[in-house]
Each structure stands twice: as C-alpha cells, then as structure tokens.
Chains A and B, each alone.
Chain A
Amino acid sequence: MSQTATMTGPAPDTHTKVESGPRGPRPKPFFTPQKIIIYSILVFFTLYFLFPLYVMLVTSFKTMPEIRFGNIFALPSQISFDAWVKAWTSACTGLTCEGLAPGFWNSVKITIPSTIVSIFIAAVNGYALVNWRFKGSEIFFSILIFGSFIPYQVMLYPLVMITRELGIFGTLQAVILIHTIFGMPILTLLFRNYFASLPQELFKAARVDGAGFWRIFFEIMLPMSLPIFVVALILQVTGIWNDFLFGVVFAGTQNLPMTVQLNNIVNSAQGTPEYNVNMAATVLTGLVPLIIYFVSGKLFVRGVAAGAVKG
C-alpha cells in the first residue's frame, strides 16, 4: 500500500521533505484567558446551583444547638439522624404530629393512579389524532394545547363545583381526575408527535389485515412506544409529585400530598422552628424526583425538552 502513495513524492515514512516552520497541531496552551473565563463562570454557577443542596443536607444532620451557633457552611460536628427520624415520624403539620410519612404515602397514592390514567388517555388521544383523524379532531387538539396556557386559577373554582357535584371533592379520585385533565395537553402532544414519527405503512398494513382501532393500538402501537412512555412517565411522576395547588384544593385533609404537608411543617409550625427537621423534611420531599432525575439522566432532559419543542 505504501508504494501507491509514492507517486505523490517521497516515501511516506521518511520525513525528509518536511520543512522547518510550523508543523503538527497548533500549539494550545492549557490556560488561555478565554478558558479561564469560561470555567470561572461555569464554576460560579455550579456553586450557586449546588449550594442549597449542600446546605439542606448539612443542616439536616446537625443538632439544633449546633445550628444556633450560626454557621450555615459548617459540616456537622457529629452526624445526627434525629432530625430525619422526627421529620418522617413525628413532626407537626399543624393539625397532627405524625411527620411526613402519611404525606409520603398520600403522594404515592395520588401519583401512581394519576400517572397511569393520564398517560393511558393521552396515548389513546395521540393515536386517534394521528391515525384516526375525524372531523374536528385537529380543532380539539389545538384548543387543548392553547388551553394548557390558561392559568389554573381560571378553571379552579368551576372544577371544585364539578367535583362536588360528582361527589368526589376532597377525595383521591378528585386529585387523580384533575391531574389527568391538566396533564392531557402536554402528554397528548408528546404521544401525537411520537406516533406521527412512526411509519404510516405499519398502520395501513394492519388495517389491510383487518385490525380495528383497539387491536392496532394494543398490538402494534403500544409495543413500539416504550421510549415515549418512559419520557411521559418521568414527566408525570415528577410533575404530580411536585404539585402543590391541586393537592391543597382537591385532595381533602385526609389525603394531603407530601408537598402540602412539608409546607405545613415548615410554615405553620407552632413554637420554635427546628431547622434541622425542616431541612430533613425538605430533602425527603425532594428525594423522589431527585432519584428519578439522577437515574433517568438524558431521558429527563428529553422529557423536559419534548414538552418544549413543538411538532
């Protein structure tokens, strides 16, 4: 092979013809002013973003006397789990003193069915909108998307009345219904765009084979939509877990989700505030979405970006 290149000049592995002067890669000093500026800004922002997480964790492991000493940066002199135990089991939320545990289980009871129902309905919507268009389906979809920008407060009171009429106000069903309604625009958009990206021939072939609406949905479309299901799952679980407004309005005092309980522990507590318990409770509430975030990594980014990038 080497012979073939000789037509161009010298044998390739002799360096004789290389002349003096610049040769090889451009010299690149490791520290250029530009790089120093770039990394300084990035590090500054990194500190800004990490500082609250650090403070939360450090505070939650301290004892109250140590906190009163007044150094928010300092590591705990001795790691104490008392605040965590109290936050979980016996912190007072205003009415009761059972800690965050009931709130956690309420959030689980709200999040799981809400996620399942809202994703299922949105998947069917997206499928119908792409493959079974009917007169007006696009108009419904447009209003649905436009409606997602209406502030919740505008529809809040009528929804309270509707759920009251249905006899579910102040129950888990009400919160699930509300999450399904307000999750619908973004999820439908997600599924519609995804199904539209699948080859239409697949759907046509199934129809030629005589499959109907539901059979095609369950046997062809669903098995192909795992990636988008994961994205939707991440979006919904974090979204519903983090909800405050719907929980406080619709769930009723027996079913208040974790975010509401947390806010009660911190903001409506009687007596001297226990900052270590507050921070432990805060970390506990943030834990579920944080775990989802760190585990899902790129998919989370895709999820939030998918919500943003319109089809």
Chain B
Amino acid sequence: MQTSVSIKDLSLNFGSVKVLEHLNLDIAKGEFIVLLGPSGCGKSTLLNCIAGLLDVSDGQIFINGKNVTWEEPKDRGIGMVFQSYALYPQMSVERNLSFGLRVAGMPKAEIDQRVKRASEILQIEPLLNRKPANLSGGQRQRVAIGRALVRDVDVFLFDEPLSNLDAKLRSDLRVEIKRLHQRLKNTMIYVTHDQIEALTLADRIAIMKNGVIQQLADPHTIYNKPVNLYVAGFVGSPSMNFIEGTLNGPTFTAADGTAIPVGTYDFVGATSGSTKAILGVRPEHIFVGEAAADMPFKTEAEIEIVEPMGSETLAWTTVAGVSVTFRCSSDIDIHAGDKIQVGFDIARGSLFDAGTEERL
C-alpha cells in the first residue's frame, strides 16, 4: 500500500526536555490514524511537527513521498483543524474559507468553486455570510474543517477538534468526521485524549506516552491485546481489573493464594519458571451466575456496590483479594450483599510481566 505520511527517526527537544524520541511512523494513503494519549504525551507536538508548525530536532518527515522536513506548512499538502477552531473572527465564513486561496493568488472562479464544494459537503451554505461569533460551536468546527477542505490536500490533521464541544455535539460531529473520511478517502491524522473518539474513528490507533508510541494497531487489537500494562490501563472505561501474583507454568497464583488457571492463554513468547506477573481482565469479560459456570476460573463473591447504568449494570466485588469491577446485562437482578458466582476465561484477558510491564 502506498505511504502517505512517513515519519523517520523523529526527535524533538525543548532545551534539555525530550518531547519526542526517535519516533517512526508510516501512515498509508487514505488511512485514519488516531494519536491517543494523556496530555503531555507528545501527541499534539507530533502533529505540529507533521504540519511544520514546529521545527524538529532530528529526523525526517515525508508526505506523499516528498521530504518536507524543511518545508513551510503551506507547501506540505496538509490541512489542519484546531481545537479552538482558530477561525479569523472578523471575517465572514466565506472569507474564512477563501482567505488562504486569495492570498495564494488563485483565480476567483476556482476559489468560488472550491468554497461551494466544501460548504456543500459540510452543509454550511446558509452560514457563508455570517461571522464566526454568530455561529454555534458545532458550526464553527464545520467551518474550520471547511478551511482545510478548500485547500484540496491529501492529508488532514485534526488537533483535538471536538474537545471544546459538549457531549451530544461531540458524538454527532464524530459521526460526521467518519462520514467525511469515507467520502473523501483522505489520509487523516487525528489527535485526541478521548478513547471513545479513538476507538470509533481510527483505522489504527497510536497510543503515546512520554513521547514514545507504545502501541500502533487497529482498535480491536489495542482493546483486546494491549501490548503493555500502560495501554491496558489507559484504554477501556471502566478500566481493566488487575490482579498481581506469580505465574508458574499453567497456573497464576494471586497474592492471596487464589489459583487461576491460565492454560487457555495465548502467550506472546515462551515463559519459563516462576515469574512475577499481573493478570488483567476487562469488566465485560467477567461473567456472573450461570454464565460463569463454564469459565475456567470461577469463584464465589459478594457484591459490594451496584451501579445501574440503564443499558447495563456495573458492580464491585472482591476477587482474589482485589477489588474488581464487572459489567453485566441490566436484566440480571443483583443487589449489594448478594453472594454470586463470578468467573472469567484468561483467553480473553491479558498477562503482563510485573517487572517490564510488557505483555506475556
């Protein structure tokens, strides 16, 4: 597959602070990549480097096979959408869209045509004569996307574009962006700290921490086969349950002595002898009542707290001496104080080396 954006050995330092370190990333044409991580992990910095808004300290950036490391942002063939929308406040929507093209000296007919197309795609035609101050947050963000659209570029960069919107609008615009991607088939690089956005939008997610990509994979792999403890804990809400213990052959022994069979687990590599390990299992992979009967590991547990969420129910209990959350259908009638059977299959869980925190 053709590479659209290629980042080779990229480093960025602010003085002695290393923000990005020897970072490599290849993005295929038409791919939707999400850079996900907590604030300060370097994801926005990486995006700004790709855009050319920040000078890199070392390494190279290729866009469409062209080395753009020293190019100005406007010459890189990118369009960018910002968190604060960054619309020019004193210009109408139409002028916001066309300003860059007019400065570049493009013929008026072509400008009009591009503005028309972009406003059609984004359904902002009725807004063209308004000023940004008279637009809602969602409308502003559409205009901001439109400004990237009229540039007619191959690569779209999104820097937390939905963070300033309320929850309802956010999920609406999320779908719109996905629809836009399906229609335009551009390469899109999207920075967010919201894992739902990442999981729903991405072809591949790059999870970042301290300027290093922890895992780059499709959402399903990220969610089900996290490559290390950090990724496992970061993705998923409520987050994965972790049980510390020792791994010895086919058995995991928790700190309180509970033995959990791990024979069904698909190990990444061979393990030998006895290893300090951490067992992780997602709340929805813990089964209760009769469903737990078939599980390789099951135990009796007392429900401590029940949180009905409408479509499902969250419950807290203690398994192997550790507080554990599980998720079950809201049809199951459970109450605090109930003693029920809970169980899970490690095949759907994860095991991590307690020392290196890598997946076993």
User: Is chain B in direct contact with chain A in the complex (CB below 8 A)?
Assistant: yes
Minimum CB–CB distance from A261 to chain B (whole Å) comes to 51
Any chain B CB within 8 A of the CB of A205?
no
Main secondary structure of the interface of A (DSSP, over half): loop
* Interface positions of A from 1 to 58, Cβ below 8 Å from B: 1, 3-5, 7-10, 12-13, 15, 17-19, 21-27
Residues of chain B contacted by A5 (CB below 8 angstroms): 23-24, 212-214, 216
Residues of chain B contacted by A4 (CB below 8 angstroms): 212-215, 227-228, 358
Q: Is B59 a contact of A8 with CB atoms below 8 Å?
A: no
- Most chain B beta-carbon neighbours within 10 Å: one of A3, A12, A19: A12
Residues of chain B contacted by A10 (CB below 8 angstroms): 24
Assign chain B's interface to a size class: 20 to 34
* Interface positions of B from 172 to 218, Cβ below 8 Å from A: 212-217
Residues of chain A contacted by B267 (CB below 8 angstroms): none
B13-25 toward A: CB 8 Å interface, digit per residue (1/0)? 0000000011111
Residues of chain A contacted by B228 (CB below 8 angstroms): 1, 4
Query: A19 vs B65: C-alpha distance in the bound complex, in angstroms?
Result: 11
Q: Is A24 a contact of B58 with CB atoms below 8 Å?
A: yes
B45-69 toward A: CB 8 Å interface, digit per residue (1/0)? 0000000000111111000000101
Query: A24 vs B64: C-alpha distance in the bound complex, in angstroms?
Result: 19
Residues of chain A contacted by B21 (CB below 8 angstroms): 12
* Interface positions of B from 212 to 232, Cβ below 8 Å from A: 212-217, 227-228
Residues of chain B contacted by A25 (CB below 8 angstroms): 55-58
- Choose one: A8, A13, A21; the contact of B69 (CB below 8 Å): A21
Given known contacts A8-B25, A12-B21, A17-B9, A23 and B213 CB-to-CB distance under 8 angstroms = no
Any chain A CB within 8 A of the CB of B26?
yes
Closest to A24 in B: B58
Query: A12 vs B55: C-alpha distance in the bound complex, in angstroms?
Result: 20
Q: Is A24 a contact of B56 with CB atoms below 8 Å?
A: yes
Residues of chain A contacted by B59 (CB below 8 angstroms): 18, 23-24
Any chain A CB within 8 A of the CB of B95?
no
Q: Is A7 a contact of B215 with CB atoms below 8 Å?
A: yes
Any chain A CB within 8 A of the CB of B8?
yes
Minimum CB–CB distance from B54 to chain A (whole Å) comes to 10
* Interface positions of B from 63 to 102, Cβ below 8 Å from A: 67, 69-70
A266-280 toward B: CB 8 Å interface, digit per residue (1/0)? 000000000000000
Minimum CB–CB distance from B27 to chain A (whole Å) comes to 10
Query: A4 vs B70: C-alpha distance in the bound complex, in angstroms?
Result: 29
Q: Is B60 a contact of A23 with CB atoms below 8 Å?
A: yes
Q: Is A13 a contact of B70 with CB atoms below 8 Å?
A: no
Given known contacts A18-B8, A22-B60, A1 and B22 CB-to-CB distance under 8 angstroms = no
Given known contacts A4-B213, A26-B55, A19 and B67 CB-to-CB distance under 8 angstroms = yes
Residues of chain A contacted by B58 (CB below 8 angstroms): 23-25
Closest to A17 in B: B8
Query: A14 vs B253: C-alpha distance in the bound complex, in angstroms?
Result: 40
Q: Is B57 a contact of A24 with CB atoms below 8 Å?
A: yes
Q: Is A3 a contact of B358 with CB atoms below 8 Å?
A: yes
Residues of chain A contacted by B214 (CB below 8 angstroms): 1, 4-5
Given known contacts A4-B213, A15-B9, A17-B8, A22 and B69 CB-to-CB distance under 8 angstroms = yes
Q: Is B24 a contact of A12 with CB atoms below 8 Å?
A: yes
Query: A17 vs B60: C-alpha distance in the bound complex, in angstroms?
Result: 10
Minimum CB–CB distance from A184 to chain B (whole Å) comes to 35
Residues of chain B contacted by A26 (CB below 8 angstroms): 55, 69-70
Closest to A25 in B: B55
* Interface positions of B from 280 to 304, Cβ below 8 Å from A: none
Minimum CB–CB distance from A187 to chain B (whole Å) comes to 33
Query: A250 vs B358: C-alpha distance in the bound complex, in angstroms?
Result: 81
Residues of chain A contacted by B9 (CB below 8 angstroms): 12, 15, 17-18
Residues of chain B contacted by A7 (CB below 8 angstroms): 215-217
Residues of chain B contacted by A13 (CB below 8 angstroms): 22
A144-166 toward B: CB 8 Å interface, digit per residue (1/0)? 00000000000000000000000
Query: A177 vs B26: C-alpha distance in the bound complex, in angstroms?
Result: 74
* Interface positions of B from 244 to 298, Cβ below 8 Å from A: none
* Interface positions of B from 1 to 44, Cβ below 8 Å from A: 8-9, 21-26
Minimum CB–CB distance from A260 to chain B (whole Å) comes to 48
Query: A280 vs B298: C-alpha distance in the bound complex, in angstroms?
Result: 92
Given known contacts A18-B8, A27-B70, A8 and B26 CB-to-CB distance under 8 angstroms = yes
Query: A311 vs B44: C-alpha distance in the bound complex, in angstroms?
Result: 34
Query: A272 vs B315: C-alpha distance in the bound complex, in angstroms?
Result: 96
Q: Could you show 23 A-B contacts with beta carbons less than 8 Å apart?
A: A3-B358, A4-B214, A4-B215, A4-B228, A5-B212, A5-B213, A5-B214, A5-B216, A7-B216, A8-B216, A9-B26, A12-B21, A13-B22, A17-B8, A17-B24, A18-B8, A18-B9, A18-B60, A19-B8, A22-B67, A23-B58, A24-B56, A26-B69
Known contacts A5-B213, A25-B56, A27-B70; can you find 19 more A-B pairs with CB under 8 A? A1-B212, A1-B228, A5-B24, A5-B214, A5-B216, A7-B216, A8-B24, A8-B25, A8-B26, A9-B26, A10-B24, A12-B21, A12-B24, A17-B8, A18-B59, A19-B60, A23-B59, A25-B57, A25-B58
B residues with CB within 8 A of A: 8-9, 21-26, 55-60, 67, 69-70, 212-217, 227-228, 358
The list of the 10 closest CB pairs from A to B, nearest first, reads: A12-B22, A21-B67, A22-B70, A22-B69, A8-B24, A25-B55, A9-B24, A26-B70, A24-B58, A18-B8
A residues with CB within 8 A of B: 1, 3-5, 7-10, 12-13, 15, 17-19, 21-27
